[in-house]
Amino acid sequence: MAGSLAAKAPYNPILLRALVAQVGGMSQGEISRRTGYGKSTINLTLSTGILPSRVDKDEFMSTVESYVQQNPEAMRWLKALNAGLVDLWRPVSDFGITVGKQTMPVDLGKRQMEVRRREAVVPGNPHEIIMEVDREMLSMDAKKQFQLFKNPFIDDVAKESDVFMSDEHRYIQAAMLDAAKHRGCIAVIGEVGSGKSTIRKKVMMELEKSGEQIKVCYPQIIDKKKLTVEHLCNAVIMDFGQTPKQDREAKARQVIKLLTDRAKAGGDTVLMVEEAHDLSVPVLKYLKRFSEIELGYRKVIGIILIGQPELGDLFDERMHFEMREVTRRFQIAHISGLNGNMGDYLELKFKLAGAEIGEIITKDAITALSKRLTTRDAKERTASTAYPLTVNNYIVKAMNLAAELGEPIVNAEVINQL
């Protein structure tokens, strides 16, 4: 079947694909659960209108139609298109709808699914939304076919050498270490699954191993939206092994004395905050006051913020002009995707699982996925969304699909069917 997959299963999405993407409570995963067919089979059917020969077509269609009929919003959606249940299996083009392989047009209304969505401009259509692939587990059939005893992307890090660091990850790690050692300010911004926590752990370990006198203050309040300046002061004081004073003026003086005394002794301090995108503007503005604590001309504390793209919005003066005093003091470091390093990343992951990359995925498949996960903005600038978590999910889906279709290896044609 290798080499003929695209010809046998041309991309020709049916109306059901548009419906599950647009209607609340509808999902391919739920169709899979109700019908008993694998997610890859459901995805292939919705993308091509073709059911594998082993599937009882009438039984499958009847089960799905019953599922759709139970959703009032789905029925209203169909009625608005002058369509009925029988039309679920017709091409979306019959209804004047365009559905990309990884996108949905924004004019179909509000999309309500369990998966997240992120606006991006892609080649050929500046009005589309890229949809992140939802999490899927590696099937037993795929494990058997590729001779794997475990999912290569779950519980795969047991020691430091198991961590993959791209050139960009290493650069940002170095920038964070520099901020810690020289009392600078940096905001590290990356999407979910881009490797922020991994870099943070590497930095913490590096600081511990270096033997340099750098105290890391790390606020551990879980809900960062509720974090206040008082919490930050408490975190600094407690990480120095002291009990915070109750009076605010006394507490502020306590913080200043701890930091300046440490600086006098030749030590440094860094305040590191994860999930910083949840911080309020007032708290971020107060960070400037922390950074201004000095011993003579020498600053006594560095600041490292780590957060999702919303943190970048907070540092955008066009959106938050009142933040300019903070923004102009911080270096901003964005984590992009693995494009350019995807092959090396997957090679390490499969090696840790006891497999060879060449026996699981072809080079042209890696190229196809890299292209798939590259976006282009209105100024024709490209950006990679090939974050480790996203790549993991796509590769697992591709391996499951290859096993279902009888493909001995994940090639570009399999990737293009996702």
State pLDDT tens for residues 4-63.
443 445 667 889 988 887 776 778 888 887 777 777 778 888 888 877 666 677 788 888
**What are 207's two structure tokens?**
């600081």
Contact partners, residue 134, CB within 8 Å, separation at least 6: 27, 28, 29, 113, 114, 115, 393
pLDDT digits (tens, 9 = 90+) for 165-174: 888 899 999 9
pLDDT at residue number 192: 85
pLDDT in tens, 375-396: 765 556 677 788 898 899 999 9
| Lowest model confidence (mean pLDDT) among 30-44, 269-283, 357-371, 401-415 | 30-44
> For the ranges 102-106, 164-168, 259-263, which has the lowest average pLDDT?
102-106
* pLDDT score, position 53: 67
Structure-model confidence comparison of residues 22 and 329, the more confident one: 329
If one compares 111 and 190, the residue with the highest pLDDT of the two is 190
Say what the pLDDT of residue 129 is: 32
Task: Please state whether beta strands 382-384 and 374-376 pair in parallel, antiparallel, or not at all (unpaired).
Answer: antiparallel
Rg, Å, the chain Cα set? 26
Cα separations (Å) of 218 from 67, 92, 221, 273, 337?
Answer: 49, 52, 9, 6, 27
Share the mean pLDDT of the chain.
82
Cross-strand pairs, 131? 117
State both tokens at 177. Answer: 């270490």
The answer, as to whether pTM is greater than 0.75, is no
> What single letter denotes the amino acid at residue 328?
R
Q: Is the pLDDT of residue 119 over 60?
A: no
Residue 136 Cα distances to 113, 143, 149, 330, 391, angstroms: 15, 13, 17, 38, 12
pLDDT exceeds 50 at position 353: yes
Distance CA 285, CA 288 (A): 6
Residue 100: the pLDDT is 54
CA distance 299 to 289: 11
Domains of the chain in start order, with CATH, are 1-132 (no CATH), 133-156+337-418 (1.10.8), 167-334 (3.40.50.300)
Which range of 95-104, 192-201, 242-251 scores highest in mean pLDDT? It is: 242-251
Q: Provide the β-strand partners of residue 119.
A: 129
Q: What is the pLDDT of residue 254?
A: 95
Among the residue ranges 31-40, 112-121, 164-173, 342-351, the one predicted with the least confidence is 112-121
Confidence of residue 157 (pLDDT cuts 50, 70, 90): confident
Q: Which helix (H) or strand (E) holds 35?
A: helix 28-35
Helix (H, G, I), strand (E, B) or coil at 129: strand
Distance CA(347)–CA(197), nearest Å, equals: 21
pLDDT tens-digit profile of 214-253? 899 999 888 888 888 899 999 999 999 999 999 999 999 9
**Which residue type does 8 have?**
K
209 Cβ contact partners less than 8 Å away, ≥ 6 residues apart? none
The angle formed by the CA atoms of residues 401, 403 and 406, to the nearest 5 degrees, is 105
